[in-house]
A and B are shown apart, each in its own frame.
Chain A
Amino acid sequence: MDGVADLGGRHGWGRVPVPGPEPVFAEPWQGRAFALGALAARLSGTNLDAFRHALERLNPLDYLADGYFGRWARATELLLVDSGVLAPGAVTARSANLRGDVRPEPAPPQPCKPDYASTSPGSLREVTTAARFAVGDRVRTRDLRPAGHTRLAGYLRRRTGIIEALRPGAVLPDTHAHFRGENAQHVYAVVFESRELWGAEAEEFQITADLFEDYLEAAGG
């Protein structure tokens, strides 16, 4: 989706923090958020792709407000509300009560987990159909602009690159995140020239992304 999470190439973010020593969790709540996020898919009856989609569906202010672990907590809450494990507003009401407010809390709703079951652990799958592309092929990324989940970043749409490796087959996040099937398919490492992506004035470098077969078409030439 064209959401806040699709950051590649965006201007205006300023300088990158200079790396230095830091604890894994700077504050205790960050560790709790991480652990809850790690369990979110199981608790909500969903999957890792749905969790990533929950992250990008957050309101942009919520996505950015409390950093990485803040959005993990928000995405966890979103999946649990979607699945009827938590009532909308339950976390806000409880947080306020923890602070000392006295607020009514909504009762737990009827669970409505998606009709979803994984065919096997993890995301990698054996794909038995022939790969459509081979190493060295020129490919063009399709003009996909779904409102739902995709792993084709906006900056890589409608760009021409070269297949440089085949990766293991994997479930297609675009449908898997929405419980519309695993659609396991071939994945390709595609290398792009920086000037194909950013124009003639760009720094000279190459970038590789791992792209699902559905994202690609033959470029010819």
Chain B
Amino acid sequence: MGEDPAEGLSAALRVEALEQLLAERGLVDRAVLDGLISRYENDVGPLNGARVVARAWTDPGYRSRLLADGTAAVAELGFSGPQGEHLVVVENGPGIHHVVVCTLCSCYPWPVLGLPPSWYKDPAYRARVVREPRTVLAEMGLQLSKDTRIRVWDSSSEVRYLVLPQRPPGTSGFSEEQLAALVTRDSMVGVALPGTPA
């Protein structure tokens, strides 16, 4: 227990050692590791989710399909993969605000949002947002009015959640691309609102 902090071996050294031990026996292919890293650095991220949200804001039929079967509607735009076996989309509206967490680990809808940001994985977020969400959201910069009800979703099975934020005011006539640019990662987890037009 605690052997390495005492030895001063950094995580970077340990990971290098782990990779080396596996690679020199042919158990992992470094090109495969590079590919995975590149995929989640460049291809799979919140821009996917922003496209889903912008489509739902502009296409009522798509919005209905998204709320009825998130997995299928997201796949219509070409997004699927690990941590996306069953996606449920929850819609914010006047008087109702949704926020997503995984208290037990850091489950997150990878195909639409990529890998989770550091605050989502932080013990403080995991511990507190299921206990005092209004306080936590305010600390994170989102002040909700008193009469807005809060729904918290704890991702405790393989179901993954995406928040469909409310379309910002002043965006009528915006194209899907213009709208997607307003959709932030944090607004799709429920700890922020989407941006507003400049």
Seen from chain A, the residues whose Cβ lies within 8 Å of a Cβ on chain B are 5-11, 13-19, 22-29, 31-36, 38-39, 43, 52, 55-56, 59, 61-62, 64-70, 73-74, 76-77, 80, 85-86, 90-92, 94-99, 108, 122-124, 151-153, 155-156, 167-168, 170, 187, 189, 197-198, 202-203, 205-212
Chain A residues near B136 (CB-CB < 8 A)? 16
> Could you jot down 16 A-B contacts, CB within 8 Å?
A6-B104, A16-B119, A24-B45, A29-B15, A32-B37, A35-B34, A43-B27, A56-B105, A61-B5, A65-B11, A67-B118, A68-B118, A73-B11, A73-B15, A76-B18, A92-B7
| Size bracket of the B interface | 35 or more
Q: How far is the CA of A216 from the CA of B118 in the complex (A)?
A: 33
A209→B154 contact, CB < 8 A: yes
B18→A73 contact, CB < 8 A: yes
Contact of A33 among B1, B15, B41, B140 (CB under 8 A): B15
A152 → B minimal CB distance (Å) = 8
Contact of A203 among B3, B127, B134 (CB under 8 A): B134
A205→B122 contact, CB < 8 A: no
A5→B105 contact, CB < 8 A: yes
Q: Which of A23, A24, A86, A187 has the most CB of B within 10 A?
A: A24
13 other A-B residue contacts (CB within 8 Å) besides A22-B118, A92-B17? A7-B104, A10-B127, A15-B139, A22-B117, A24-B45, A34-B36, A35-B34, A52-B104, A62-B1, A65-B4, A156-B156, A203-B133, A206-B150
Known A-B contacts A19-B186, A92-B4, A92-B9; A151 and B157 likewise in contact (beta carbons under 8 Å) = yes
A15→B157 contact, CB < 8 A: no
A63 → B minimal CB distance (Å) = 9
Chain A residues near B15 (CB-CB < 8 A)? 29, 32-33, 36, 73
Chain B residues near A70 (CB-CB < 8 A)? 11
B33→A36 contact, CB < 8 A: yes
Contact of A25 among B1, B32, B37, B152 (CB under 8 A): B37
A59→B1 contact, CB < 8 A: yes
B140→A124 contact, CB < 8 A: no
- B99 and chain A: residue at smallest CB distance: A205
Q: How far is the CA of A77 from the CA of B13 in the complex (A)?
A: 13
- B36 and chain A: residue at smallest CB distance: A35
- B28 and chain A: residue at smallest CB distance: A39
Chain A residues near B40 (CB-CB < 8 A)? 24, 34
A185 → B minimal CB distance (Å) = 11
Q: How far is the CA of A6 from the CA of B186 in the complex (A)?
A: 23
Chain A residues near B12 (CB-CB < 8 A)? 27-29
Q: How far is the CA of A19 from the CA of B1 in the complex (A)?
A: 33
Contact of B114 among A24, A91, A170 (CB under 8 A): A24
A137 → B minimal CB distance (Å) = 18
B54 → A minimal CB distance (Å) = 20
For residue B93, CB closer than 8 A to chain A, the reply is: no
Chain A residues near B32 (CB-CB < 8 A)? 35, 39
Q: How far is the CA of A59 from the CA of B6 in the complex (A)?
A: 14
A35→B33 contact, CB < 8 A: yes
Known A-B contacts A43-B28, A203-B135, A210-B155; A94 and B121 likewise in contact (beta carbons under 8 Å) = no
Contact with A along B148-160 (1 / 0, CB 8 A): 0111111111110
Chain B residues near A202 (CB-CB < 8 A)? 131-132
Q: How far is the CA of A202 from the CA of B176 in the complex (A)?
A: 40
Contact with A along B40-72 (1 / 0, CB 8 A): 110001000000000000000000000000000
A34→B159 contact, CB < 8 A: no
B37→A7 contact, CB < 8 A: no
A167→B186 contact, CB < 8 A: no
A136 → B minimal CB distance (Å) = 18
A32→B19 contact, CB < 8 A: yes
Chain B residues near A36 (CB-CB < 8 A)? 15, 18-19, 22, 28, 33
